[in-house]
Amino acid sequence: MGMMGQMIAEIRTLTGYLKGALGTEWSEKKIKETISNAHQLSSDLASLLKGNKPKIEKSIDDLSHASSNLKDMMDQNRSKLETTLDNLNHASSDFQKITSTLEDLSTSLKSLSDKIEKGEGTLGQLINDETLYQDLKTTTRAIDELIEDIKKNPKRYFRFELF
């Protein structure tokens, strides 16, 4: 009985809150506006559906037909689609391998270029040694002059004898 009294008190409190929130002129007006708007929306929607019923039915029929055609096409080409998907899967795997190989190659080329820039190894010394460059240039010029002299004076360098 004691709990019943407490429950009745809580119901009275709740009723008081509802009267306070919903019992005012403003809330009553807003509730009526909401119901009126819902009624108008329902009416507009019914008119829209009624006016466009043939179009909606045609759209649903077209969608059903397209869906049926797509299903038939999928059924007829199932093996081709599976093969295509398998090929795409293999291509993806191969692409990952190629990407990995290119990354490794890039790392190797970077390391090689770093060594050359530091003057390490034969190629690094050839590229970075200015003295060697000048010596090669001088030697090339001397060889060119020697070839010109051999062309002008072959007897000086070659002896021909017949037996």
Instruction: Map the chain to HEC letters.
Output: CHHHHHHHHHHHHHHHHHHHHHCCHHHHHHHHHHHHHHHHHHHHHHHHHHHCHHHHHHHHHHHHHHHHHHHHHHHHCHHHHHHHHHHHHHHHHHHHHHHHHHHHHHHHHHHHHHHHHHCCHHHHHHHHCHHHHHHHHHHHHHHHHHHHHHHHCHHHHCCCCCC
pLDDT tens-digit map of 43-80? 999 988 888 888 888 999 999 999 999 999 988 988 99
pTM: 0.36
Place 2 in a pLDDT band, splitting at 50, 70 and 90.
low
Higher pLDDT, residue 36 or 9: 36
pLDDT value at position 31? 82
Given a cut of 80, is residue 160 above it in pLDDT? Answer: no
| Residue-level pLDDT at 1 | 62
Which pLDDT score is estimated for 59?
Answer: 92
Reported as a single tens digit per residue, the pLDDT across 101-120 is 999 999 999 999 988 888 88
Residue 21 confidence (pLDDT) above 80: no
Average pLDDT, the chain: 87
Q: Which has more confidence, 48 or 18?
A: 48
